[in-house]
Amino acid sequence: MKVVAIGRTEILYSSILEVKKSGHEINLIITCDEAPHYLKGADDFQSLAEKLGAEFIKTEHIDNAEIIATLSKINPDIAISVNWKTIIPPKVLECFKYGIVNAHAGDLPRYRGNAVPNWAIINGENEIVLTLHFMIPELDAGPILLQRRCPIKHDTRIGEIYDFLRKNYPQMFAEVLDGLEKGTISPREQPSDSSLTLRCYPRLPRDNEIDWTQPAIQIDRLVRAVSEPFDGAYTFLGSEKLIIWRAHCASSPSPFLGVPGQVAQRYPGTGEVAVITGDGFLTLKEIEIGSQGRMKATQAIKSAKVRLGMHITEEIIELKRRVTELEKRNGMRK
């Protein structure tokens, strides 16, 4: 098959190589700016295109005249897509004999949209389903071609799911292209019942801030859902941002009274720190604060008389105090 590759990430990069290895021809690679945590960027795709003798286009708008003209010249059979930023319009979809096969890290028709693996952990799912489907103008609604399942356990972190994606998607793309060419794979239409879908919207870095009033299990899920390769779940120790990389739920040995965010116990032997949540304790194992790098929780939290989280009123009072001091100093200099 004559193949066009569209999108970003190291998963697309590896998929291109696997598709090429399985005997298909890569004619064009289309990409755009990468996100900070991606292992492969536009320069890598350009070098790969040169190595494979394929054309290369970097653009933020896939429906431009240059791309349409290039596709018309190539007359490709099919495209593979990973993490393109926008819905691909009909005039581009129509350029391919078979269509565009998209990688979606979620069970369809459930879990359509953005940041699906992160949301699946946060939502307490026991598995995530990798899906290859044909693209149509509606988001993640095209016919399903192939699916594989990855279990989510009580301690599964988002990095482990991404390892599963990196390992499986290239093989899945090669299998689907081979199957379509040989007629051994038949697309399966998704149900049209909208009640079966769960729309996932984008996540922002500020969504990683911990709300200590939530149940411990929910905070633990957040920690696991935004750990490496993402920026990590965070709270505040005083006015310093404290990132929590490793934690686990814990039960209190006895009834207690306390405010969420309060440090309940330090364990110098293990380096762990127990913090009160909305319904129990979250035990912090590995944290990061400032420019000091990662460390055991007790290295940063040196007292049980500490409460984590930003207290807006206290911060405002402190800022007003500092402003007053600066005004007095400026007045003295005058």
Domain with CATH 3.10.25.10 in the chain: 205-313
Alpha helices in 111-204 (DSSP H): 116-122, 158-182
Residue 233 pLDDT:
98
**pLDDT tens sequence for the chain (334 residues):** 999 999 999 999 999 999 999 999 999 999 999 988 889 999 999 999 999 999 999 999 998 888 999 999 999 999 999 999 889 999 999 999 999 999 999 999 999 999 999 999 999 999 999 999 999 999 999 999 999 999 999 999 999 999 999 999 999 999 999 999 999 999 999 998 888 999 999 999 999 999 999 999 999 999 999 999 999 999 999 889 999 999 999 988 888 999 999 999 999 999 999 999 999 999 999 999 988 899 999 999 999 999 999 876 676 777 788 888 887 888 765 5
Q: Are 308 and 300 in contact (CB under 8 A)?
A: no
- Residue range 205-313 forms a domain whose CATH class is alpha beta
Does residue 184 sit in helix, strand or coil? coil
| Separation CA 31–CA 29 (nearest Å) | 7
DSSP type of residue 314? H
Domain with CATH 3.40.50.170 in the chain: 2-200
Residue 91 pLDDT:
93
Q: Are 99 and 78 in contact (CB under 8 A)?
A: yes
| Separation CA 222–CA 233 (nearest Å) | 7
Q: What are all long-range contacts of 45-49, with beta carbons under 8 Å and residues at least 24 apart? A: 45/12, 45/13, 48/13, 48/16, 48/17
CA atoms lying within 13 Å on the CB side of residue 73? 10
| Separation CA 249–CA 276 (nearest Å) | 10
Q: Which fold has domain 2-200?
A: Rossmann fold (3.40.50)
Cis? peptide before 253, omega within 30° of 0: no
In DSSP terms, 287 is beta-bridged to 244, 295
Which residue from 225, 236, 211, 233 is spatially nearest to 290, judged by alpha carbons? 236
Strands ordered across the beta sheet of 144-151: 55-58, 25-31, 2-7, 78-82, 99-104, 127-134, 144-151
| Separation CA 102–CA 99 (nearest Å) | 10
Q: What are all long-range contacts of 36-39, with beta carbons under 8 Å and residues at least 24 apart? A: 37/229, 37/230, 38/8, 38/9, 38/10, 39/9, 39/10
